[in-house]
Structure formats: C-alpha cells, structure tokens
Amino acid sequence: MTRVLVLEDSPDLLQLLRVELEAHGFEVASASSGEAALRLMERAAADVVLTDLFMPDKDGLETILELRTRYPSARIIAMSGWESRAGLDYLKVAREIGAERTFRKPFDMDELIAALRPTSA
C-alpha cells in the first residue's frame, strides 16, 4: 500500500484529500505545516508527499528542499491555488527543486490519484 503524506493548511481540503485518497486505497498521514510534516517523515517515511506551497511556519518550497536532502527517494507532488506571486511561478520553481508533478488548485481528483500511484517497478 502506498503511503502518502498530505501537507495542506486548509482543514477542509486536507479532510477531502484524506477521504478521497483512503477511498482509493492509499495509506494517508496528514500535516498542516512543513515542520509537522518533517516530524511525521522522521517517524514513518511516506512514499509520496503531496504538499501545498503556501503554509505557515515553513512553506512548501522550503519543505521540498528539506525533503530532497533528507529523503531523496520520496516522490514529491506540489499543489497551489496561486497562479504566481511577486511575478514568480511557484509551481515551476517547485518542479525545478524536486517536485516530480505539480497541480494548480482546483485540480482534477482523478489526475491527482493517477499521479500518486506508484510508478512502474
């Protein structure tokens, strides 16, 4: 079973993602901040981390950089509702620093589920 760590500061979206992913057979852990996500990874590393980019205490870009350093084999998928901020495309930056896929909110749940599935062995 694929273990997914969902990192999202919106309680409603976090709950929706948990319910949808569990219904599709994923084991789900969740956190609402980058610091909490990193603590969860220390206890039980996830196969895939699905992270929002804009959160309190440690944003998604910082979290991706730290995950890449500490857990290089973890797959990372980033999501954001922002087109850009301060003229910068944060989803593009996320791909450049280690996210294998990015999704702009609102996204198609079926596409996200497909992206979270394990790649061919």
pLDDT at residue number 84:
63
pLDDT at residue number 83:
63
The span from the CA of 31 to the CA of 40, in Å, is 8
pLDDT at residue number 109:
97
pLDDT at residue number 86:
73
Instruction: Spell out the domains of the chain, with CATH numbers in brackets.
Output: 3-116 (3.40.50.2300)
Output the tens digit of pLDDT for each of the chain's 121 residues.
Answer: 999 999 999 999 999 999 999 999 999 999 999 999 999 999 999 999 999 999 878 889 999 999 999 999 999 999 998 766 677 899 999 999 999 999 999 999 999 999 999 875 4
Task: Answer whether 0.75 is exceeded by the pTM.
Answer: yes
For tokens 């730290």, name the residue: 66
The span from the CA of 14 to the CA of 73, in Å, is 24
pLDDT at residue number 96:
96
